[in-house]
Amino acid sequence: MTTITTETPQVAPVMQPGVTFMSLSTRIGDTVLRPQAPLWWWVGFGVSLLLLAVLVVSCTYLFVNGIGVWGVDIPVAWGLAIAEYVWWIALASGGTIVSALFYLTGSPWRSAISRIAESMMLSAVASAGIMPILHLGRPGFFYWLFPYPNVMGVWPQFRSPLLWDFVCIICYILMSVMFYYTGLVPDLATMRDRAPTRVKQIVYGILALGWQGSARQWRNYKITYLIMAAIMAPMVVSVHSVVGLDFAGGVTPGWHSTQFPPYFFFGAILSGLALVIMLTIPLRHAYSLQMVITGYHLNALGKVMLTGSLMLGFAYFWEVFGPYYGSDVAERTMLGGRLTGTYASVYWATVALNITAPQLLWWPAIRRSEWALFLISSGVIIGMWCERFVIVVTSLSRDHVPSEWGSYVPTIWDWGVLVGSIGLFLVIFFVILRLVPIVPLAELRELIAERAPP
Amino acid sequence: MNEARLHGIAGEFEHLDGALGAARQLRDSGFTRVEAYSPYPVEELAEAVGRSGAPIIAISTVAFLGALIGLTGGYFVQYWTAAVDLPVNVGGRPLHSWPAFTVSTFEIGVLCGVAAALLAFLVSSRLPLLYHPIFATDGFERASQDRFFLIVEAADVRFYPERIRAIFERHGAAHVSEVRG
């Protein structure tokens, strides 16, 4: 993957000439230190808060009345909440893929967008984390999943894939926060040193932990960051694979397949990259980041997204070929229902948005056009949501015995949680935008120094 | 402020070359208590001030040990709860079903590995730190932005301020100052 993404297009260098250490600090660092947020930030934050209010109302109504307010019932007992859990965790994984995996490959385009990707990951993982809890019949008891000594004398069942998933998510959140913070320390020191007011100096001073940037500290920092990236990369593969195992562990037709772990990870590459693109394009205009996030970055992101789409297409093919070629009647019946039944339109939308539309990225002109990239990425985000819906709902609605067949129609409260979770994601992301430089300054200084030694 | 103990002599450099030259000359002249500060990691600078060798605590070793502890502990918790303290017969499957324990064992192991790496990083870098005399240096706030700083600490046995000042100035230091704090 390194070779296809490091080749430099003549039209777009990895960084525009004329960027200096000082212009980097003033242009990017000071957007955070400015006392007044720009208008677009207030508009975006306001809309996000409205969406978050939808989540608060939906959750309150859900908690008071119970899970019956959703459309879920036996046999389709997993509905939008589980589909969206998978959807959000895939989006979150994309942030780690860009930031950790491409750190290991040494791709120069990774530097400028890694902070956007990691911030996206932290925001998305919050939306993912609430979904399984909302989905519980007794959400107040979610902590029973922790192995803590209790008077009931029971322990969680570690042989269940659902518990593996819980362990994965907890570990992933904790590791992501540590990885994020480690990458942030030198930039927090820059913030501390540029802070115009005493309060900001103290706050950033405490957060920077007293970082001095000594040769000893930089050496330790580089080693630590490399170790963390080398652990985070396989970790993120495991996280989404275990989500796949949640499904593969069941005998439900369409789920009981050994290809599920990699299949889910392919989806994470595609949708994660799509969300990184969707956030990067407006941000580079809003913050005037065209100097450091150039066509080079968009070109590379487009190529990785195309790769993800091809990998996912491979998984889609086997998902259809397996039941067709196998002899399991239930699998074949479910497949027939999936391709032609009630939810067939959602299935074909999945294929069109995730596999067909991204093929446009073969053309360099498409990868250079921000509008095209943005539209294809939005299509992928919607398509990946459809994919999760298809996997969860069509399988459960066509179980082995016809007497177990059923259907699922989301209610307004299902949709409320979807809309609200987008609000939660955006609120956290907008807050991060006001707190930390959205481009890693220290890493870009390395890039500047490589190009023109100071 | 000037009453405070002398911490060392600091030179501020606009260009990396100057800082590198001065650091190398200091090293060749036998100074041992030299530290360099830069806005981004510079390997040559670390070499010039003698910080390129293995750190006192090898961060990778600590991370590995942390992961090992996590793996062992994670596996033990699963084994003990599922096979010893609360044996539940699920369709006659073995109580100590190790393949089912591998996933959580891996996750807890890598979590502890990253946590140990972070801890080792903080300890070996002397962080968090509320105060360091170097922050009293004139203009040190630019060390995190675009300037390079070298300091020879007063604890150095060859600490002759005039000589150090001369070396700094020969290599084009923009500013040389005494650091007290």
pLDDT (tens digit, 9 = 90+) per residue, A47-83?
Answer: 999 999 999 999 999 999 999 999 999 999 999 999 9
Residue of A450, A454, A453, A448 lying closest to A27 (CA atoms): A448
Question: Whose CA is closest to A123, among A142, A101, A96?
Answer: A96
Is residue A1 predicted with pLDDT exceeding 90? Answer: no
Q: Chain B window 121-150: which residues touch A at a Cβ cutoff of 8 Å? A: 121-122, 124-125, 127-132, 134-135, 141-146
What share of chain A in percent tops pLDDT 90?
85
- Segment A341-345 long-range contacts (CB within 8 Å, at least 24 positions apart): A341/A394, A341/A398, A342/A397, A342/A407, A343/A389, A343/A390, A343/A393, A343/A394, A343/A397
- Asked if A219 and B141 come within 8 Å (Cβ–Cβ), the reply is no
C-alpha torsion angle, residues A282, A287, A288, A291 (rounded to 10): -100
Between chains, do A194 and B145 touch, taking CB under 8 Å as contact?
yes
| Contact between chains at B45 and A168 (C-beta distance less than 8 A) | no
Provide the token pair at A333.
């019946």
Q: What is the pTM of this model?
A: 0.94
Residue A256 in contact with partner chain B when CB distance is under 8 A: no
Kindly determine whether residue B118 and residue A182, on different chains, have CB atoms separated by under 8 Å: yes
The Cα of A333 is separated from the nearest Cα of chain B by a number of Å equal to: 28
Burial A363-394 (b: 16+ CB within 10 A, else e): eeebbbbeebbbebbebbbbbbbbbbbbbbbb
Cβ separation of B103 and A159 shorter than 8 Å?
A: no
Inter-CA distances, A240 with A164, A256, A265, A355, Å: 11, 16, 6, 20
Residue A22 touches chain B, beta carbons under 8 Å? yes
The verdict on a CB contact (< 8 Å) between B118 and A216 is no
Task: Name the β-bridge partners of B11.
Answer: B150, B176
Residue in A370, A358, A262, A234 with CA at minimum distance from that of residue A305: A358
Whole-angstrom Cα distance, residue A343 to residue A276?
Answer: 29
Name the one residue in this structure whose structure tokens are 């970055």. Answer: A297
Q: What percent of chain A has pLDDT over 70?
A: 97
Indicate the residue of B14, B100, B115 with minimum beta-carbon distance to A178: B115
Alpha-carbon distance of B97 to A117, in angstroms, equals 38
pLDDT at A25 over 80: yes
The minimal CB distance from A238 to the residues B81, B86, B107 is found for B107
Of A153, A221, A245, the CB nearest to B41: A221
* Cβ atoms of A241 and B61 closer than 8 Å: no
Q: What ranges make up the beta strands (E) of A248-338?
A: none
CA distance A282 to A288: 10
CB A218 within 8 A of CB B46: yes
Which residue of B38, B90, B128 is in closest CB contact with A210?
B128
Query: Quick check: B46 contacting A, CB < 8 Å?
Result: yes
Euclidean distance between CA atoms A89 and A127, whole angstroms = 8
What integer best gives the mean pLDDT of chain B?
Answer: 91
Under an 8 A CB cutoff, do A222 and B41 touch? yes
Omega cis (within 30) before A75: yes
| Cβ distance of A219 and B45 shorter than 8 Å | no
Averaged pLDDT for residues A426-435: 96
The pLDDT of residue B1 is above 60: no
Chain A contact for B181, CB < 8 A? no
Q: Regarding predicted confidence, which is higher, B158 or A430?
A: A430
- Subunit contact B117:A193, Cβ cutoff 8 A: no
Separation CA B73–CA B77 (nearest Å)? 6
| Rounded distance between C-alpha atoms, residue A97 and residue B132, angstroms | 37
At B10 the pLDDT is 94
**What are the pLDDT digits (tens) for A92-134?**
999 999 999 999 999 889 999 999 999 999 999 999 999 999 9
> What pLDDT is stored for residue A23 in this prediction?
87
Question: Would you say A188 and A204 are in contact if contact means Cβ atoms under 8 Å apart?
Answer: yes
Q: A371-415, pLDDT tens digit by residue?
A: 999 999 999 999 999 999 999 999 999 999 999 999 999 999 999
* A10 pLDDT above the threshold of 90: no
Chain A residues lying within 8 Å of B52, measured CB to CB: 219
- Looking at every residue in chain A, the average pLDDT score rounds to 93
How far, rounded to the nearest angstrom, does the alpha carbon of residue B144 sit from its chain's CA centroid? 15
Q: What is the mean pLDDT of residues A165-176?
A: 95
Contact yes or no for B42/B149 (Cβ under 8 A): no
- pLDDT at position B157 is 86
- Taking only the tens place, the pLDDT of each residue in A202-234 is 999 999 999 999 999 999 999 999 999 999 999
Contacts of B130 (CB under 8 A, 6+ apart): A210
Q: What is the pLDDT of residue A2?
A: 45
Flag whether pLDDT at A298 surpasses 80: yes
DSSP B49: T
Q: Which residues of B touch A157 (CB under 8 A)?
A: 82, 88
Find residues 163-182 of chain A whose CB sits inside 8 Å of chain B: 163-164, 167-168, 171-172, 174-175, 178-179, 181-182
Nearest chain B residue (CA) to A239: B107
Instruction: Judge if ipTM > 0.85.
Output: yes
How far is A418 from A62, CA to CA, in rounded Å?
13
Q: Residue holding tokens 């179980």? A: A399
